[in-house]
């Protein structure tokens, strides 16, 4: 899995602080922006997060380049509707030698690994054979969820909060969880105040939302600050 933060709104911490300040102040826009730098921005953003006033987070967006992930992952990712996506097409890009993602449980088992590779080989042969008779847009129907894909995804900070709460969670599937933790690490580097409270639901002020489905093993703040899904991270 390779994940890059390709672009983001400049000065995200200061911009969110300025937008928040505007709500609570009579000062004009230029003054607000000037006054809210550094520590003042940090405390304004902290106040905002404590209040649960989330709409100012929508003013800052983050664009990620994501590759070497499976179609099983991308299908889950694009369920997050508060986002924009561009994904490599299987209509226009032929996949004779498609890359594939091997789940760790399969890689760890000699027998499962053999079966998996045999299936991938059979699918590649069937796909190449189909391409002799039909267009790629139809030959792709035999391709597996394991097929590697590439995307560009843009989300604002509010949507990222929701994404991290759901997908950094231990109950999330291992591959999208690894992606979520990597994205969290990248955005915390460039917007530490905005994402100070972001992460799995168990670390939020609301706590775990999984109810009876809870894993019973909440993350610690140190795991969040380390930027890693340390205990059982699989990538």
**Could you say whether residue 149 binds ligand FAD (CB under 6 A)?**
no
| Contact yes or no for 224/164 (Cβ under 8 A) | no
Q: Which stretch binds ligand FAD (CB under 6 A): 59-67, 77-85, 146-154, 215-223?
A: 77-85
Q: Which stretch binds ligand FAD (CB under 6 A): 6-14, 35-43, 124-132, 166-174?
A: 166-174
Q: Which stretch binds ligand FAD (CB under 6 A): 3-11, 49-57, 78-86, 192-200?
A: 78-86
**Could you say whether residue 214 binds ligand FAD (CB under 6 A)?**
no
The correct pick among 45, 123, 166, 198 for binding ligand FAD (CB under 6 A) is: 166
The correct pick among 26, 52, 81, 216 for binding ligand FAD (CB under 6 A) is: 81
**DSSP per residue, 115-170:** HHHHHHHHHHHHHHHHHTTS-HHHHGGG--TTBEEEEEEEEEHHHHHHHHHHHSST
**Could you say whether residue 79 binds ligand FAD (CB under 6 A)?**
yes
Nearer to ligand FAD, 81 or 221 (CB): 81
The correct pick among 143, 172, 203, 208 for binding ligand FAD (CB under 6 A) is: 172
**Could you say whether residue 162 binds ligand FAD (CB under 6 A)?**
yes
**Could you say whether residue 159 binds ligand FAD (CB under 6 A)?**
yes
Q: Which stretch binds ligand FAD (CB under 6 A): 37-45, 135-143, 159-167, 182-190?
A: 159-167
**Could you say whether residue 228 binds ligand FAD (CB under 6 A)?**
no
Strands 61-70 and 148-156, by their bridges, are: antiparallel
d(Cα 51, Cα 124) in Å, to the nearest integer?
Answer: 53
| Contact yes or no for 2/67 (Cβ under 8 A) | yes
**Could you say whether residue 41 binds ligand FAD (CB under 6 A)?**
no
**Could you say whether residue 75 binds ligand FAD (CB under 6 A)?**
no
| Contact yes or no for 194/57 (Cβ under 8 A) | yes
167 is known as an active-site residue: yes
Nearer to ligand FAD, 3 or 172 (CB): 172
Interface residues with ligand FAD (CB under 6 A) are: 79-82, 159, 162, 166-167, 171-172
Residues with active-site annotation: 167
């Amino acid at each position: 899995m390779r994940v890059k933060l390709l672009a983001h709104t400049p000065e995200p911490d200061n911009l969110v602080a300025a937008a928040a300040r505007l709500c609570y102040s009579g000062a004009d826009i230029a003054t607000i922006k000037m006054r809210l730098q550094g520590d003042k921005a940090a405390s304004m953003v902290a106040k905002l997060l404590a209040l649960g006033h989330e709409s100012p987070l929508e003013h800052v967006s983050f664009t990620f380049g994501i590759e070497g992930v499976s179609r099983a992952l991308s299908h889950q990712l694009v369920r997050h509707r508060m986002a924009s996506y561009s994904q490599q097409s299987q209509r226009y890009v032929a996949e004779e030698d498609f890359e594939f993602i091997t789940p760790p449980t399969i890689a760890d088992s000699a027998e499962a690994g053999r079966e998996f590779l045999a299936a991938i080989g059979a699918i590649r042969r069937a796909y190449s054979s189909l391409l002799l008779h039909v267009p790629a847009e139809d030959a792709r129907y035999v391709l597996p969820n394991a097929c590697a894909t590439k995307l560009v995804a843009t989300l604002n900070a509010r949507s990222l909060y929701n994404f991290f709460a759901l997908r950094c969670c231990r109950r999330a599937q291992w591959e999208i969880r690894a992606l979520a933790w990597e994205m969290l690490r990248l955005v915390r580097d460039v917007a530490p105040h905005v994402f100070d409270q972001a992460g799995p639901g168990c670390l939020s002020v609301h706590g775990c939302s999984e109810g009876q489905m809870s894993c019973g093993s909440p993350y610690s703040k140190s795991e969040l600050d380390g930027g890693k899904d340390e205990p059982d991270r699989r990538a």
